[in-house]
C-alpha cells in the first residue's frame, strides 16, 4: 500500500519525535521557531544522518533516492515537512531579516491552526498615491 504517493507506510510518530530534538524542538506541541542558522549551530545535519536508515525505510523505493537523500538542511526540512503532514501537522515558514540578512523561520503547527490562519489572514491594504504632472 502506498500512502500519499511517497511512503510505503505511515512514518511512525516515534521517528518524528526522535527527529525533533535535532531541530531544537522538544515535541510536536512546541512552537519554537528555528532557521537554517539554528540548524547549523546545533548540527542538525549530522544528527539526522544517524536516523537516515529509518527515514529511508518509510519511503517507497522509487521515491527513496529523490526525497530521502540527506545532503543539506533544505532536504532535511523537506523530509520533516512530509513526515509531519502524514500526522496532520505542518511546518509553517516566514521570512525575517536579521542584520540585513534574510532568514526563513520555521515552526510546527497543526493543520487546523494553519487552515484557521489562512482563513482569517486579511490581505494588507496599501495606500498608494498617484500624482500626474
State yes or no: pLDDT of 131 exceeds 70: yes
Model confidence at 58: pLDDT above 70 = yes
Average pLDDT over residues 115-133: 77
Distance between CA atoms of residues 40 and 35, nearest Å: 9
The cell numbers describing 130, all together, are 498617484
78 Cβ contact partners less than 8 Å away, ≥ 6 residues apart: 67
pLDDT the model gives residue 133:
72
pLDDT score of 122: 65
Instruction: Give dist(CA 86, CA 128) in Å, integer.
Output: 43
User: So where are the chain's domains?
Assistant: 13-120
Phi, psi for 18 (deg, rounded to 5)? -75, -30
The pLDDT assigned to 123 comes to 67
Residue 1: what pLDDT?
Answer: 57
Q: According to the 3-state scheme, what is the secondary structure of the chain?
A: CCECCCECCCCCHHHHHHHHHHHCCCCCCCCCCECHHHHHHCCHHHHHHCCHHHHHHHECHHHHHHHCCCCCHHHHHHHHHHHHHCCCEEEEEEEEEECCEEEEEEEEEEHHHHHHHHHHCCCCCCCCCCCCC
By percentage, how much of the chain surpasses pLDDT 90? 47
Amino acid at each position: 500500500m502506498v500512502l500519499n504517493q511517497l511512503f510505503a507506510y505511515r512514518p511512525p510518530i516515534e521517528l518524528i519525535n526522535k527527529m525533533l530534538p535535532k531541530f531544537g524542538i522538544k515535541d510536536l506541541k512546541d512552537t519554537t521557531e528555528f532557521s537554517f542558522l539554528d540548524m547549523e549551530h546545533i548540527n542538525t545535519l549530522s544528527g539526522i544522518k544517524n536516523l537516515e536508515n529509518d527515514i529511508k525505510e518509510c519511503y517507497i523505493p522509487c521515491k527513496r533516492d529523490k526525497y530521502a537523500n540527506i545532503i543539506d538542511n533544505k532536504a532535511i526540512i523537506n523530509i520533516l515537512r512530509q513526515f509531519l503532514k502524514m500526522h496532520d501537522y505542518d511546518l509553517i515558514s516566514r521570512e525575517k531579516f536579521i542584520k540585513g540578512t534574510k532568514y526563513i523561520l520555521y515552526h510546527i503547527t497543526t493543520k487546523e491552526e494553519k487552515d484557521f490562519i489562512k482563513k482569517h489572514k486579511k490581505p494588507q491594504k496599501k495606500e498608494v498615491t498617484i500624482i500626474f504632472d
